[in-house]
Amino acid sequence: MTDTVGIAGDRIRSFIERVEQIEEELKALNEGKKEVFAEAKGEGFDVKVLKEILKLRKQDKDERDEQESLLDLYMRAMDGGGAEVPLAKAA
């Protein structure tokens, strides 16, 4: 038999049950998110584009501007047939 002296079993159970409850809530929220995307898709919206918008809205304006500048820079480099495009960090 294992000695459990000094281990607060009730406190451990409380932590575990709280985490399990949060996991259930997250599962329900994720299911709700799937339903919203399914509804949008059913109305003809492109879910990939909606997810990209969500990603962009999480960034601040400077981050978005820098990412757009780098995307434009890389696309121009590819379109240039392999010619190097000088790297310049977006200001």
Span 69-79, mean pLDDT?
93
12 and 43 in a single domain? The answer is yes
Interval 36-52: pLDDT, tens: 999 999 999 999 999 99
Average pLDDT, the chain: 89
- pLDDT of 88 higher than 90: no
Domain extent at residue 40: 7-58
77 C-beta neighbours (distance < 10 Å), count: 15
- 7 dihedral zone (left: phi>0; alpha: psi -120 to 50; beta): beta
In a domain, 1, yes or no: no
Q: Do both 28 and 51 map to the same domain?
A: yes
**Of 3-7, 21-25, 73-77, which gets the smallest average pLDDT?**
3-7
User: What is the per-residue pLDDT for 7?
Assistant: 83
- Whether the CB-CB separation of 35 and 47 falls below 8 Å is answered with no
Residue 85 has pLDDT above 70, yes or no: no
With respect to residue 53, please indicate whether it lies within any of the assigned structural domains: yes
